[in-house]
């Protein structure tokens, strides 16, 4: 550790001890509750305490965010570039809250002049950089430290005040700056507090949102707005479900007919993501501390592939089978050669170490109806369709591991019969909230797990019925209280896992299956339900009070609307002081 690192580390340690003492000392006086109710932070920090003095806090018209000199000395050039862009973005967010009335000290307002960021460690020294592929560009990963501490200390007789943000790594700065940006009331542009201590870190390292772009294409501006909405709620993973039966909307330079023939618009390619589009999405996500994990669903849900490359399809003679029931022919060497080349291309394009290969809902009846497939199974002592899928998954997992990736596979029936390939992360999805039998079985088999549930599927409007979950909600798509159902769902409900086993659950995600969503309605369908899930994944499990949350989620909705995200209402007749402005240019 460098000398500068030691100094900043000691500052953070001392400040943490002071803040923890302050929190413990003031819990009984209701100050923490005031921090919950009056500040309206979302998601709620791990530890938050405030003191009320006679003066509120405002931002000076000359307010700025700066890096401490010690931080500038230890950060690499690429980290400095990341920090500059992050600071610029939050300076822009905060500009609308500046006090520009030339009466800063009237009404005892105490203007903040600057926020100083203090970073303890350069991640260039701890292995979070993929230098081989990206020339030392900083990419977020599962190992990131997003811890931050935000401290505002002032006294009544101060003419001005400053605030300090302490983080261990650069990733904590974006989480802390988002919290800081929420301290100020949009109407008054004031914060009612002169002293604020916040110690915060995430409950889960993986806080995801899955976006399906196969069933409906989603435009680039909508994806950009989605990434902003995610960072406002401290999500850090975009699981991009790129391909499915309906379309193959991404260009491959190795196999161009995948998109040429498999997208919705094969003539003009207006429903296709180019390599430039992908790079833009990855860069926007990177600058927001969001990982992008691609999913190419296989060997089922892959009929869009066959339009350009029909040799991949299983030749099942049963014409009664639906198209989506016809999976890849996993007995051909040519299939694996094709996939090796495609996965190599996409592994180089997508920088995250995780890579999702689907594996869900494979209808084995097609394989069972193909004489050539059955002959292959006989020769290789493969006795069932689940065993044949396991044969496929093991080969693809091996390919990805050799490419330096960690494969993710959807939980599926084949796994319950054959187990899952070693080295793969399993994503749970089939079970209603509170039914953790399969989750716990897979964890105890030694796998790391990502959690989702039909109760977090945005395309389901009536999934959760009375008696089916720990809390008897009946969901309606137009029910203003629907966010409360999403808020109560928790991966560890009814869990019997011990503390060590719980660590194998990396996190969880909300799923936007775009059956009826596209750029016209995507964001208002994701939010505010996604807002509710954001707090569930970041904040402590004990934070479940719907009464407190109801006030705060309305504040968060209005905050996001103010920033340009069309978040749907959270309650009947709720309203924001600054209504959403829809831009329309008529004929």
Q: Is the peptide bond before 43 cis (omega within 30 degrees of 0)?
A: yes
Using DSSP's 3-state secondary structure scheme, residue 572 falls into: coil
DSSP per-residue string spanning 51-116: E--SS-EEEEEEEEEEE-HHHHHHS-HHHHHHHHHHHHHHHHHHHTTEE-SS-TTGGG-EEEEEEE
Contact 302, 338 (CB under 8 A): no
Q: Calculate helix-pair angle for 170-181, 77-95, nearest 10 degrees.
A: 0
Phi and psi at 481, nearest 5°, equal -95, 10
DSSP state of 284: H
Nearest to 538 by CA among 254, 175, 113, 112: 175
- Tell me how crowded residue 89 is: count the other CB atoms within 10 A of its CB: 17
**β-strands 148-152, 206-212 pairing:** unpaired
> What's the token pair of residue 362?
């494979």
Which stretch of DSSP H or E encloses residue 394? helix 385-402
DSSP state of 457: B
Contact 410, 421 (CB under 8 A): no
Has 159 been annotated as catalytic?
no
The CA–CA distances, whole Å, from 51 to 12, 194, 292, 387 equal: 21, 7, 40, 63
> What's the token pair of residue 170?
């650069």
DSSP state of 513: -
Task: Please report where in the chains the tokens 């023939």 appear, as a residue.
Answer: 261
Nearest to 67 by CA among 98, 94, 90: 90
Contact 115, 71 (CB under 8 A): no
| Catalytic pick among 38, 72, 114, 361 | 361
Query: Which residues are annotated as catalytic?
Result: 361
């Amino acid at each position: 550790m460098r000398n500068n690192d030691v100094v900043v580390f000691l500052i953070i340690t001392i400040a943490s001890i002071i803040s923890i003492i302050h929190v413990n000392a003031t819990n009984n006086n209701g100050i923490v509750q005031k921090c919950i109710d009056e500040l309206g932070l979302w998601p709620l920090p791990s530890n938050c305490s405030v003191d009320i003095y006679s003066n509120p806090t405002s931002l000076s018209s000359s307010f700025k965010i700066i890096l401490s000199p010690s931080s500038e000395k230890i950060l690499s050039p690429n980290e400095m570039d990341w920090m500059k862009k992050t600071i610029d973005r939050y300076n822009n967010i905060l500009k609308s809250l500046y006090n520009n009335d030339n009466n800063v000290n009237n009404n005892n307002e105490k203007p903040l002049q600057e926020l100083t960021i203090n970073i303890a460690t350069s991640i260039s020294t701890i292995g979070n950089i993929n230098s081989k592929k990206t020339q030392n560009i900083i990419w977020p990963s599962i190992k990131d430290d997003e811890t931050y501490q935000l401290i505002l200390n002032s006294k009544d007789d101060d003419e001005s005040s400053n605030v300090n943000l302490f983080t261990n790594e650069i990733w904590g700065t974006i989480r802390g700056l988002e919290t800081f940006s929420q301290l100020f009331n949009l109407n008054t542009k004031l914060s009612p507090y002169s002293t604020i201590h916040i110690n915060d870190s995430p409950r889960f390292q993986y806080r995801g949102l899955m976006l399906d772009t196969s069933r409906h294409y989603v435009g680039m501006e909508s994806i950009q707005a989605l990434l902003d909405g995610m960072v406002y709620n401290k999500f850090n993973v975009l699981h991009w479900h790129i391909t499915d039966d309906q379309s193959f909307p991404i260009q491959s330079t190795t196999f161009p007919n995948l998109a040429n023939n498999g997208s919705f618009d094969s003539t003009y390619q207006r429903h296709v993501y180019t390599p430039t589009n992908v790079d833009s999405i990855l860069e926007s996500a990177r600058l927001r501390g969001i990982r992008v994990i691609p999913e190419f669903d296989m060997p089922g849900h892959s009929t869009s592939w066959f339009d350009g490359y029909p040799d991949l399809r299983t030749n099942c003679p049963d014409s009664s089978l639906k198209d989506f029931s016809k999976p890849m022919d996993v007995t051909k060497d040519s299939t694996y050669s094709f996939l090796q080349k495609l996965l190599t291309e996409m592994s180089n394009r997508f920088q995250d170490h995780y890579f999702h290969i689907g594996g869900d809902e494979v209808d084995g009846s097609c394989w069972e109806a193909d004489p050539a497939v059955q002959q292959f199974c006989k020769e290789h002592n493969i006795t069932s369709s689940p065993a044949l899928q396991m044969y496929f998954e093991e080969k693809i997992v091996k390919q990805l591991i050799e490419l330096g990736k960690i494969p993710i596979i959807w939980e599926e029936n084949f796994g319950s019969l054959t187990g899952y390939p070693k080295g793969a992360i399993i994503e749970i999805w089939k079970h209603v909230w509170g039914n953790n039998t399969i989750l716990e079985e897979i964890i105890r088999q030694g796998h790391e797990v990502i959690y989702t549930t039909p109760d977090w599927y945005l395309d389901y409007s009536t999934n959760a019925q009375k008696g089916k979950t720990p809390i008897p909600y009946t969901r309606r798509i137009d029910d203003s209280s629907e966010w409360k159902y999403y808020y109560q769902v928790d991966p560890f409900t009814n869990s019997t896992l011990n503390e060590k086993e719980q660590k194998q659950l990396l996190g969880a995600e909300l799923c936007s299956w775009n059956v009826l969503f596209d750029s016209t309605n995507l964001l208002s369908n994701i939010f505010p339900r996604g807002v509710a899930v954001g707090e569930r994944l970041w904040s402590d499990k004990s934070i479940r009070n719907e009464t407190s949350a109801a006030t705060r989620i309305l504040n968060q909705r209005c905050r996001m609307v103010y920033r340009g995200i069309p978040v749907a209402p959270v309650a009947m007749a709720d309203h924001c002081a600054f209504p959403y402005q829809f831009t329309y240019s008529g004929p």
